[in-house]
Amino acid sequence: MTLAPGEEVDATTRALAHEPVPADQVVSGRPSTGWVELDDSIGVWEMTPGAMRDVEADEVFVVLAGSATVEFEEPALPPIELRAGSVARLAEGMRTVWTVRETLRKVYIAG
């Protein structure tokens, strides 16, 4: 999908096809993720409860729903707590652990 100028999408209700998180990334539970790109650098991403490791892209995101903790393995930074309304920035190459307590949905803008 490409979001055209003047077009609107409801990111809170947009249907997302989920896939299980690959076993080598799972820390606990049975999380799945789903996403849809709205443009080359804009998208909606969602993760169900559980914990997973990830290597980040350069992005800014706004949490629409859910709650989670993001721990930073590299670089070593304090964890952040995410909830609806949280705005955060990640840098390319950061190594993180996402622990989702309530299905987390975000809109991201990648750099």
* 11 within some domain: no
Q: Measure Cα distances from 35 to 1, 44, 48, 74, 76 in Å.
A: 11, 5, 12, 25, 27
Q: What is the pLDDT of residues 28-71, one digit of tens each?
A: 999 999 999 999 999 999 999 999 999 999 999 999 999 999 99
Mean pLDDT over 14-36 rounds to 97
Which domain covers residue 60, as residue numbers? 18-110
Model pTM greater than 0.85?
Answer: yes
For position 41, which CATH number holds?
2.60.120.10
